[in-house]
Structure 1
Amino acid sequence: MTQKIGFVGLGAMGLPMAANLLAAGFHLTVYNRTASKAEPLVAKGAHRAARAGDVAHPGGVVVSMLADDASLEALVTGEDALAEHLAPDGIHLSMSTVSPATTRELAAYHASHGSVMVAAPVFGRPNAAQAKQLRICVSGPADAKAKVKPILEAMGPEIFDFGDNVGAANVVKVAGNFMIAAALEAMGEAVAMMRKSGVDPAAALDMFAKTIFAAPVYQGYGPLIAYGRFTPAEFRLPLGLKDIDLALQAATAANAPMPMASMLRDRFVSAIAKGRADLDWSAIALGAADDAGLKESR
């Protein structure tokens, strides 16, 4: 029997993720605040729910891919009461990038209402989601993780298990996004120095991405920064600021100073203050160009 699952959140990431679940043969009931975003999925056979809570049934599985902690908390504990709709023994597969503390609090809320939460944040931009190439971090109860594994495998080739502590995967996710932001800043500073030295930064970053920095972050973001290609934005600057704030909150909770994260936060705040909020988050690289007296290259 084909498994029936719910999916909430059909943004730039959620839509292709849900489409891949449909392609894998799952029966989907979907919900998005802007109902029209569900149309491509409905055309492929998904059922559209009128309310977020309607995607769930007792003992079932619901996947959520939401923008922030507040949206996730409202889904679980608000008027849609996902935690209650899934009981008994249903599973909420939370794939959003949110605070580890929020995940732990909502997991406890789920448990108190007879349902289970598994954290499964992802690494990858919308094109990776579409190509089923997401790297997925997972944490939570072992039996629940085993049940949702086929769902995760339909969205990405690699699943990394960080244990039973449900907030662990979110710690890894915010740490990884901090490291990506640090790489964006490093490339921005290097590009500014090379531009002022009369060196072609695109050629240099291409060389780096093939040799000493042969990694997806440098290969994917290097050309954006070298050529100033910050639109269309797949991940906007305010979302980057949100994730750096999450990293700083986790660092504070762990008594682990992150001075570079504090500097990166200032870069994001400055970029947004300069009217760049609609640009891709890699546009924090423009801060180094500003400091060097360079005009935007885009």
Structure 2
Amino acid sequence: MKTGFCGLGNMGEAMAATLVAAGFDVTVWNRSPEPVQALAEKGATSADTVQQAAENADILIAMLPDDTVTRQVLVESGALDALPEGAVFINMATVSIAFSRELDEFLAGKGLHYLAAPVLGRPDVAAAGALNILAAGRQDALDTAMPVLEAMGSKVWHFGDEPQQANAVKLAVNAMIAGAIGMMGESVALAQGYGIDRGQFIELISTTLFASPVYQGYGRAIAEERYEPAGFKLSLGLKDVRLALEAGERVNVPQPISAILRDALIDALAHHQGDQDWASLARVATRRAGQE
């Protein structure tokens, strides 16, 4: 099965590497050449253009930052037109509901299949091939794509026949993660206000009532004030919360907590935290409390 992969950031490079290690015939492309060269050394085929990654591919996978970049790189460039009829395009990025619908209609008109398959997990999880993959699209397309998805993830969750359904789940989950980080920041500030060590407080919550990956992983970063290098940039977190709010408005779902989180993320951006890990959202609460 010939697979093209475009978008080799922190997540994409790790995901493509798992496919190469699993023995898939993978052609890779990226806007900057360094990750392409690194994967070529591991056995991938390098493409000079994104169209080359798409040509003759049974499956084309994209892991690009947002709607705008994905549209420019794949739609406006004509790269998706290079896919052979019947091929499956898998968009694994977090994109808007509107753009997911647009892609579905665009590809169907060309005799191509579309799967939305955003993921849960950070780069280290991707490198281990242990992502949770949130897939939605027609069953026949999912059946075709399942071998590559299973190589990248520990579980593939099928959420329906409409690709936008997977995007809705991903946006809802990311809003919840932002809420967890924001609440940890407020609670750390409260505890510190009474002289409690932040590390001790985080250890308490992450090993007892909130013993889960989100509180443990982001909690450690908050306890150690370790926000660089970013596993997931705060600016991208703001993008996802905005998309969640937009998705809610489409189906008349008020999200007042997410609106507060959006404003807190904007506050962080105004304080030059955009390139930090989004765990640094916790700094907003401690800064407002005069603890920085």
TM-score bracket, normalised by the shorter chain, equals: over 0.9
Q: How many residues align?
A: 292
What displacement does 1:71 show? 1.5
Aligned equivalent of 1:231: 228
CA contact (8 A) 1:76 1:106 kept: no
Where 1:154 maps in the other structure, the secondary structure is helix
Confirm whether residue 61 of structure 1 aligns to residue 56 of structure 2. Answer: no
Q: Which moved more, 1:40-49 or 1:71-80?
A: 71-80
Where 1:158 maps in the other structure, the secondary structure is strand
Q: Which runs of 5+ in 1 are unaligned?
A: none
What displacement does 1:272 show? 1.0
Aligned equivalent of 2:238: 241
What displacement does 1:162 show? 0.1
> For residues 74 and 115 of structure 1, what CA distance do their matches in structure 2 show?
19
Residues 140-179 of structure 1 mapped to structure 2, 5 A cutoff: 140-179=137-176
CA displacement, residues 54-76 of structure 1 (integer Å, 9 cap, x when unaligned): 11235611011000011222233
CA contact (8 A) 1:87 1:113 kept: no
What displacement does 1:80 show? 2.9
What displacement does 1:36 show? 2.1
Where 2:190 maps in the other structure, the secondary structure is helix
Aligned equivalent of 2:190: 193
What displacement does 1:129 show? 0.6
Q: Which runs of 5+ in 2 are unaligned?
A: none
> For residues 229 and 17 of structure 2, what CA distance do their matches in structure 1 show?
22
Confirm whether residue 271 of structure 1 aligns to residue 279 of structure 2. Answer: no
- List structure 1 runs of 4+ shifted beyond 3 angstroms: none
CA contact (8 A) 1:191 1:201 kept: yes
What displacement does 1:278 show? 2.0
Aligned equivalent of 1:38: 36
> For residues 79 and 127 of structure 2, what CA distance do their matches in structure 1 show?
30
What displacement does 1:191 show? 0.3
Where 1:6 maps in the other structure, the secondary structure is strand
> For residues 129 and 292 of structure 1, what CA distance do their matches in structure 2 show?
36
**Counterpart pick for 1:47 among 35, 45, 48:** 45
Aligned in 2, Cα 1:67/1:258: closer, same or farther, shift over 3 Å?
same
CA contact (8 A) 1:177 1:244 kept: yes
CA displacement, residues 34-93 of structure 1 (integer Å, 9 cap, x when unaligned): 1222111111121111111111235611011000011222233212331x2223111001
> For residues 164 and 58 of structure 1, what CA distance do their matches in structure 2 show?
26
Q: TM-score, normalised by structure 1?
A: 0.95
**Counterpart pick for 1:99 among 90, 96, 107:** 96
Question: What percent identity do the matched residue pairs reach?
Answer: 42
**Counterpart pick for 1:117 among 109, 114, 117:** 114
> For residues 272 and 113 of structure 1, what CA distance do their matches in structure 2 show?
40
Question: Aligned partner of 2:94: which letter?
Answer: T
Aligned in 2, Cα 1:4/1:177: closer, same or farther, shift over 3 Å?
same
Aligned equivalent of 1:7: 5
The CA RMSD measured in Å over matched residues stands at 1.2
CA contact (8 A) 1:52 1:80 kept: no
Confirm whether residue 24 of structure 1 aligns to residue 47 of structure 2. Answer: no
CA displacement, residues 270-293 of structure 1 (integer Å, 9 cap, x when unaligned): 111112222111111111111211
Q: Which moved more, 1:228-237 or 1:89-98?
A: 228-237
Where 2:252 maps in the other structure, the secondary structure is coil
Q: TM-score, normalised by structure 2?
A: 0.97
